Chains A and B, each alone.
Chain A
Amino acid sequence: MTDGRQEDGIETDPELRRREVADFRTTGAVDLVERVMKALADEDWRVRKEASQVASQLAPNTELLVALVDTLVSGSNVGLRNAAVESLGSYGIDAVKAIDKVRDQLDSDGRKLAAEALARTGERAAVRILGDMAQDDDQNVVAAALESLSTVGVVSTGEAASILVKALGNEDAFLRLVTLNSINLLGLRIPWDSRLESFLSDPMLDTAAMVAAARGGDLAVGKHLAHAVEFWHRSKRASALSALGDYLAVGEQCADSAKAAFVSVAEECRELLRGLSQDSDAPLEERRAALRALGVLGGGEDAKVAVEALGSVELAEDAEAALHQIGAMAVGTLVANAREGGVEIRSACVRLLGAIADDSNRAEALIAINEAIADREPGMARSWLAAVALVGDEESLEQSVPWLRGDVAAQVRHSAEVAVSACATRYPVAARKMANQASCDGPDAAFAAVVIAALTVSGHGVAPRDVEFLTATVSNERTHCRRAALKALRTMPGAAATRAVAFALTDEAREVQLAAIRTLGQMKGAGGESLGLEYLFDLVSSGTDEALVTSAIHALGTVKALRARELLEGLAREARPARAVAAVEAMALDGKLAGVIIGLSHQEPEVVKATLQVLVAYEDPRVPTHLGACLDHAAWDVRRLAADLLARHGGDDAKRLLRGHLSTEKEALVREALSSALAEIEGRNHPSMPPSNPGEGS
């Protein structure tokens, strides 16, 4: 062979041949198709791989397409045929039509390869052809068609689901398994019926059937899951536990159904799950699934295991979910563990106590929560404050005061503001009394400011000296007190308050200046008019400090006045990207689409990208059109983001736009995003199908 090549003047070194093939992209020879096809048939895989990529990039070369399809009709070179299949995907709808045309001439191997090629096209028309091929006389062709639907099916899930549900009636167990796997890969929700139920007792199909059944979310599936968790062999139990996780995620009714079903589960099974969740040698996924199952089982012993798992970074999230699921029955265990053990576990227990305790055990939980404040560890403080925000009482409120003083981390102080605000709303009289004791000049002025704001917002009234107190606190020597006072002043309309807030723009501390700007945006007069508008206007038009100017632009978004809107529209066209982005974001606060889309015409791609991210949050039928228009933007990263965001937006319009661009987009990264976006939309839809045999469903 080597000698023959030498005689023909063909390069003997595969690497040199590969490079020659790579050059086909630019050489454009008259016999290009012939040379590409030769390369696709090369004995060396590297050459074939390169040729396959070249053939893909030459799409939509009609001559080459015909040659590629021809390899399916005749030929025995496996390497060539596989390489051709790989390339055909890039020819999109042209490939689908060409394959359909020759389908009758193909032998069984050719039809099998055709199914694989169709899977790669990402075309809706391919799904219909695969549906025909799923009726083929040859089992291998049927299997290939059903398997191919797991990928190309995303572009037409309804059609794919119909084909696959029908295929579940195949006599051959292997074909049923392939079908179930495709259903699971597409994330389809299929109806629960006697046939699917029968699959659960088939050792070949049971795990795939259980995954499909769980996702369907029929209430009858709960007892089967309980049975599977209890009796299935260890090798299959992971699938059962994973299916249980999917089932619980469907909704509350499923969780209740599972809970009822698990009542009958034997103690040995519970013990086994506890052991599994604690077994550090077991695969992580199994341990996590076991923990979630324990949440459903819901006993005191299970709470202990879950609490123990709170100390593990990998398991903490599932442990928390399990404890939430166990609910009030976990409170005793949480109380005990809030008092002893490592700081992570104590901290998590305190936080969970706030979230889980109900009327029957709130008092017990509160004692443990209030005891925990003796612990000065910052992580513990945030958990304590989170619990206080939910269930804290007057005592908690009093104990929160030190956390609003200056010598604590900003994050802790923020948690304290939330906690104090919530407690003050629940205990207004006690909160007012404590606030009245604070001096505007002292370290507890921030506490008082938070209380005053909470009482004002919750309708518990404004004391006569509140405005005076807060405006005086704006001169407090502690930065956080000044900031808290400014935040509170947003609820107190009036000239004196506005003046004090505006003067805080000259504060030496950046965080106070920014708080002043935000407050100016939110201060409203008795008639709803903006009190801070002029100050913000001045700052935006003559300010030189970009951080303050962009913050003021944002604040203008909360003003909701015509003048502000006009200014923002002008700023969205500003050459300085930071200002333009801030203007777009500010207009988004107003909720009107017309202003926001100005950012899409900005010359700077970063502004366009920021606008796209703002746009996707709108519940407006025009959004997909605007996102879709950016699929034609000159900057590839804008196109990619548009594809990602269309996926997030979802819907038929988004699908149509994505599909339309899949065949024309040249940039590989954007193509990838377009495909992923389509897959994501289809996966999320999880279309439900009618039962294949009406009347058999539960």
Chain B
Amino acid sequence: MSVFERYPPLQPIEFRLLRDFVYDRCGLHFDNSSMYLFDRRLGERLAALELDSFAEYYKHLRFSSDAAREFDEAIEVLTTSETYFFRQEYQLRSFEKELLPALAEKNASTKNLVLWSAGCSTGEEAYTIAMMVHRSGLFDDWDVRIIGSDITKSRIAAARRGVYRAGGSFRTIEPTVRDKYFAPHPEGFQVAEFLRQYCQFGHLNLMDRANLAIVGPVDVVFCRNVLIYFDENSRRRVIDNLYRRLVSGGILLLGHSESLLNVSTAFELLHLKEDLVYMKPMRTEARQTL
């Protein structure tokens, strides 16, 4: 195929094969309206691998010696979504002003805080959480862990590196905040070392309950704009897995368009000033704190 030729268009049968394979492997669900997404984004992979059709690409994903790495590539292009620091700021304000002080009080005896950005992509959300924890001044001598996890390895590597080009990820960040928490880097800006020390990134599939146990008990889970990639069954499983990881009274934050309606009744709704979040019911003796 020459550089001027477009790869052959995705056929419905090829779309179904690829879509079902992705679902089978990692639980990510794409409905019929996603066919254009597969065509456009996986088409780039066809060109990169010099394959002549999506059927060949399907075979490559299933049977080639490089299948595991290519599957990671496919998931990366299929689930790419825009992300930036301090995204959905109103929700983050609630987290910073209401939830963090409550957590400081609740965990005062252990001085331990674990926050999880589930589906962290290239790390912007995890580092945003780290900035808020730091500037709150409530956890200075605490053992704070901010965990970022994603299903694609390349995004985890990028998150770990913490280097971002000017613009893009910085669109809503104040210059003073940027100067405080980032250092100039030949490729843009790098998250300051002291902030990166809070954060750990790992390659995790939210459907894989056994593997998620490594995360340990968590106080707050950010799982924003992730459930959109799962069908109803998988969504239930993911939420159940997150529920198991949360401590009693732990908080789950979803994206602004997402809810647990028809997914789970295990959580309680917690009304904050600017947002609604989900809370794992507390044991009675701890209920007074939050």
B-binding residues in A (CB < 8 A): 439-441, 472, 474-477, 496, 499-500, 502-508, 535, 538, 541-543
B142 CB to closest chain A CB (Å) equals 12
Given contacts A440-B197, A508-B153, contact A496 B143 (CB under 8 A): yes
Contacts of A503 in B (CB 8 A): 147, 200, 202, 214-215
A-B contact pairs, 6 of them (CB 8 A): A475-B196, A475-B201, A499-B145, A505-B202, A506-B202, A506-B211
Cβ contacts under 8 Å, A474 to chain B: 200
Interface of A is mostly: helix
Asked if B227 is at the interface of the complex by the 8 Å CB criterion, the answer is no
> A505 to B160, Cβ gap below 8 A?
no
- Given the complex, which residues of B lie within 8 Å of A502, measured CB to CB? 214, 216
Q: Are B147 and A538 in contact (CB under 8 A)?
A: no
Q: CA A477 – CA B200 in complex, angstroms?
A: 11
Q: Are A542 and B210 in contact (CB under 8 A)?
A: yes
Whole-angstrom CA separation of A472 from B202 in the bound complex: 14
The reply to whether B193 and A508 contact each other, CB–CB distance below 8 Å, is no
Q: Contacts of A439 on B, CB cut-off 8 Å? A: 193
Question: B210's closest neighbor in chain A, by CB?
Answer: A542
Q: Write the B120-154 contact mask toward A (1 if CB under 8 angstroms, else 0).
A: 00000000000000000000000101010100011
* Contact string against A for B residues 209-220, beta-carbon threshold 8 Å, 1 for contact and 0 otherwise: 011011110000
Taken together as a complex, chains A and B put the C-alpha atoms of A472 and B130 apart, in Å, by 14
- Asked if A535 and B214 sit within 8 Å, CB to CB, the answer is yes
C-alpha spacing A609/B215, complex, angstroms = 39
Contacting residues, chain A, for B154 (C-beta < 8 A): 508
Given contacts A475-B197, A503-B200, A538-B213, could you give 7 more A-B pairs where the C-beta distance is less than 8 Å? A472-B197, A475-B196, A475-B200, A475-B201, A477-B161, A503-B215, A538-B214
Contacts of A440 in B (CB 8 A): 193, 197
What's the count of A-B pairs with C-beta under 8 Å? 57
Given A441-B193, A496-B143: A506 in contact with B157 (beta carbons within 8 A): no
Contacts of B143 in A (CB 8 A): 496
Contact B149 A441 (CB under 8 A): no
Q: CB-CB < 8 A to A500: which residues of B?
A: 200
Residue of B nearest to A496 (CB): B143
Complex formed: what's the CA distance from A542 to B162 in Å? 32
Q: Which residue in A504, A506, A535 is a CB contact (below 8 Å) of B149?
A: A506
Residues of chain B lying within 8 A (CB to CB) of residue A538? 210, 213-214
Bound-complex Cα distance A472 to B162 (A): 14
Distance from A302 Cβ to chain B, minimum over Cβ atoms (Å): 54
Q: A496-B143, A538-B210 are in contact. Are A477 and B202 (CB under 8 A)?
A: no
The verdict on A505 contacting B214 (CB below 8 Å), with A440-B193, A477-B157 known, is: yes
A475 vs B203: C-alpha distance in the bound complex, in angstroms?
A: 13
CB B212 to nearest CB in A, in angstroms, measures 9
Q: Please indicate the chain A residues that have their CB under 8 angstroms from the CB of B211 in the complex.
A: 505-506, 542
Q: How far is the CA of A38 from the CA of B202 in the complex (A)?
A: 80
Q: How far apart are the CA atoms of A441 and B161 in the complex, in Å?
A: 9
Give chain B nearest CB distance to A99 CB in angstroms: 62
Task: Answer whether residue B199 sits at the interface, using C-beta atoms and an 8 A cutoff.
Answer: yes
Closest to A506 in B: B202
Q: Do A507 and B215 form a contact, CB below 8 Å, given A477-B160, A542-B210?
A: no
